Chains A and B, each alone.
Chain A
Amino acid sequence: MAERIKPAEKFKRDRVPMKEQDPKERVKNFNEVPYGYSLEEAIKEAQRCLQCKPAACVEGCPADVHIPQFIDKIIDEDIEAAFKEIKITNALPAVCGRVCPQEEQCEGNCVMNKKGKPIAIGRLERFVADWAREHGIVDEDIDESQKKGKKVAIVGSGPAGLACAADLAKLGYDVTVFEALHKPGGVLIYGIPEFRLPKSIVNYEVEQIKKMGVKIYTDYVIGYIKTVDELVEEYDAVFLANGAGAPSFLGIPGENLNGVYSASEFLTRSNLMRAFDFPEFDTPIQAGKRVVVIGGGNVAMDAVRTAKRLGAEEAIIVYRRSRAEMPARAEEIEHAEAEGIRFELLTNPIRVIGDENGNVKGLECVRMELGEPDESGRRRPVPIEGSNFVMDVDNVIVAIGQNANPIVARSATGVETNKWGYFVADEETGKTTHPKVWAGGDIVTGAATVILAVGAGKKAAKSIHETLSAQ
C-alpha cells in the first residue's frame, strides 16, 4: 500500500506525464501514441487526488464513474478492486479512458484545476482497465436469480448501444444487439483510428459484454432485414442507438471527383477494413502526396493524422474559423501539430478541381476573417474578397459532420423524428414518442462524443428498467 500524502504535498506535486511514441516515429505506424501509465506512475498520480466529498469530477462524468473510490484503491495498490469499482457503472473503461474529452468532463471539474493541473482521471481509468485486461481480471458473473424474463432489443453496437446493453444485462434482462456492420463497436471500430484506440481493446470490452449474456448479431441491418415495428412486436423494449451515420458534403463543385472522400469513408476503409495494410487486406485507399482534410473537429484530426500515416508528404487541415473555435480536443490538435500537420485556418474551400481523368488535382479556397457572432455564439467567418487561391492536392477529405441516416427511422412507425431526421427523445430518459421505444446517442443528438453516447445508453437502460419493472 502506497502512502497517503498530505494535501499540502499534493498541491506541490505535478501531474504525472504520460510517455508517448516519438512523433517522428509514430507518423510511420498505426501503433497507439500514448504508452499509458506504469503502476508506479499511476500510484504517484493517484496520490494527488484530494478525495473530495461530494466529488465534482463525478458530476462531470456522463457514466457516473466512482472516481474518488477507484483512485483510492489505486493508492492501496489493489487494482482489481479499482477495476471493479469502475465497472459498477462503466462497461467501457479502456475505451473511455482513451477517448473521452476529460478536460471538459471529470478533469474539467477537478478542484485541483484551481491550483495547477487536474488529476489525470482518464489516464488512471485507462491504466486500471489495461491492467485488468492484462491480468485477466473479469467482472463477476451475472446472478442468474436476477433474471427478469424480459427481452430488450438494441439497434447499434456503438458506445450507446453497448453501455445500455451492459447495464440491462446486469439488471437481469435478456439483451440482443443488432449491428449493421460485420464487427461490433460502431464508431469505436470504424471511426476512431488504431493509433488512438486499438481495435483489440474495443474487441476485448465487447467480449466482456457478451460474457454478461448479451447477444450481438452482426451483419443485421434493422430497417431492411427486420423493421423496428417488428422488434417492437417481439421485444419488451427497443433502444435505438444506430448513430448519426450519413456524411455531410459541402455542396461545392467537384465534390464527386475521384479522390474526394467523406471522413467516414476514409476512416472506415482504414480502420474497419484495414486499408492501411493493403494489399495484405483487400480494401484499397488513396492518400496521395498532398491530402487536405476539411473541418476542425476530432474526426478531422483523426482523418488528417491517418492520411499522414498512410504516406502523405503533406497533410493539411483546412478550417474556416480560427484555432480558438476548433471543436477538436486540445490534445488531438497538439498531437496533430507534433506530427507535422499543417493548419490552414480561416480558410474555406469553394471548388475541387479535377484533371481530364476525373481525379482531384486542386482545391480552390478563399481566406476568411471573423465577423459578428452568429446564432452559435461564435464569430461568423466572412470571405475576404479577392483572396482566392488554389492548392495542389491529390485528395480531399470532407470532415464537416453528419446527417441522420434514414434507414432505421423509416421502419419505425410512431417514433417521431425532428426536421433533420433525428429521433425525438427525452434527454433524461431516452423515451421517444413510442411507449416501447427509447433512443439515444448520435441519432438523437447529432454527432457528439463517445462518452455522451455512453451516458445516453445508461440513462435509457435506467428508464427501460423502471418502465419494465413497473409493468
Chain B
Amino acid sequence: MARILKKEQWSDTIFSMLIEAKDVAKASKAGQFIILIPKEHGERVPLTIADSSKDEGWVQIVFQVVGKSTLELSRMNEGDELYSFVGPLGMPSEVEKFSGKVIMIGGGIGIAPIHPIAKTLKDLGNHVVSIIGARTADLLIMEDKMKEASTELIVATDDGSKGKKGFVNMVLEELLATEADNVDRIWAIGPPIMMKACTESAKKFNKPIIVSLNPIMVDGTGMCGACRVTVGGKTKFACVDGPEFDGALVDFDELMARQRQYKEQEQKALELYKAKEGLA
C-alpha cells in the first residue's frame, strides 16, 4: 500500500508523485486532500489531490520542498513505500453546471489542486477560464494538463518570463473588468496572500469566490482543531468543514499568522536533517 509508482521533478523544489492507493483513488472527488507520513518518525503532511485514476489505482500529489518533511519526501524514490497515506479527506468541491463562465485560478503549487476541480467543471459542460501563474517560467507547473482541463488558459508570471507579466489577481481583475457579467463563480487556490488578493478583486465586482485553505493540520478528521480558521466570524475546522470556503468570509491574516506557528522549529528540524544527511 502507498507505494511511489512514479516520481518526477518539475523544478528545483517542485515534485510530482503518483502513489498507489486503489481505495483512495476510487473514493476521491475534486477538492479533497490526503495526509501522508513519509517515514516512521515523520509528521502528518496534508496535500491536496492533484489527479487520480480509478482504473489504475493511483493518486497524484504535487509538493514543493519547504521543510524537513517535504525534503525527505522528495528524496524517496519509485518503489518506496510511504509510512502512511490516508484519504480522501475534506468536503469535495461543490461543482455544478453554471450558466455563465467559471474562472479557475492556480498560483504556484496551487495549480495542482485547482486542476481536478477545473477538470470536473469542464466535464460537467462548463466554460472554464483558467489563470495559472508562478513567480517565474521555471516554476510554472501542469500547463498542458490545465490546458486540457480548461476552455481557455491564461498564463502569467511575476517576472514576465512566460505569458503575461504580473500576478494572477491582476489578470483576474482585467478579465472581470470586461467579462464580469458572464462569470458565475471563481475558484482560487495558492498561497494565502494570493487568495486574499484574488478575493479582494472578486469582491470589487461582487463575484463569489471559493478558496481552498491549507492551515497546519494534524489528524485531518476534525479531532484536534489545529486547522481552525475564522470564516464569517465563526471558527471552522478546515479539515472537515472545508478545505474550501467562501473567500469573502475568510480571515486570511489569521490564517497566515497561524501558518507561521512553528517556523522556528521547522527551520531547526530542516537544518539538523541537512547536516545529518550531508546536504547543502
Contacts and interface: CB of A to CB of B under 8 A. Distances in A.
B257 A358 contact: yes
A273 interface: yes
Interface string B213-235: 00000110111111011100001
Interface of A: 180-182, 190, 218-221, 224-226, 243, 245-247, 249, 255-256, 258-259, 261-262, 264-265, 268-269, 273-274, 278-284, 286, 357-358, 405-407
Contact of B86 (A220, A246, A278, A358): A220
Interface stretch (B8-16, B36-44, B131-139): B36-44
B84 A182 contact: yes
9 contacts: A226-B27, A245-B223, A261-B225, A261-B226, A274-B41, A278-B265, A279-B68, A282-B68, A284-B269
Contacts of B221: 180, 221, 245, 405, 407
Contact of A249 (B222, B223, B225, B269): B225
Nearest to A258: B261
Contacts, number: 123
A225 B258 contact: no
Contact of A181 (B219, B257, B266): B219
Given A182-B84, A279-B272, A265 B68 contact: no
Contacts of B265: 278-279, 284, 286
Contact of B84 (A190, A219, A221, A262): A219
Nearest to B251: A256
A407 B240 contact: yes
B224 A268 contact: yes
A405 B239 CA distance: 12
Interface string B40-60: 011110000000000000000
A242 to B, nearest CB: 9
B88 interface: yes
A213 to B, nearest CB: 21
A181 B224 CA distance: 12
A245 B222 contact: yes
Contacts of A278: 265, 269
Chain A CB count within 10 A is highest, among B88, B228, B254, B260, for B228
Contacts of B240: 246, 405-407
Contacts of A245: 221-223
A218 B24 CA distance: 13
A198 to B, nearest CB: 18
Contact of A282 (B41, B87, B235): B41
A358 to B, nearest CB: 3
A341 to B, nearest CB: 23
Given A258-B261, A282-B68, A225 B222 contact: no
Contacts of A224: 27, 32, 87-89
A218 B86 CA distance: 9
B85 interface: yes
A427 B259 CA distance: 43
B40 to A, nearest CB: 9
Contacts of B205: none
B226 A225 contact: no
Chain A CB count within 10 A is highest, among B69, B88, B224, for B224
Contact of A256 (B42, B228, B269): B228
Nearest to B229: A256
Contacts of A286: 261-262, 265
Contacts of A407: 221-222, 240
B235 A256 contact: yes
A181 B265 CA distance: 24
Nearest to B27: A225
A258 B260 contact: yes
Contacts of A225: 23-24, 27, 87-88
Contact of B218 (A219, A265, A279, A405): A265
B83 interface: yes
Interface in B61-91: 68-69, 83-89
B268 interface: yes
Interface in B172-213: none
Contacts of A283: 43-44, 218
A391 B30 CA distance: 46
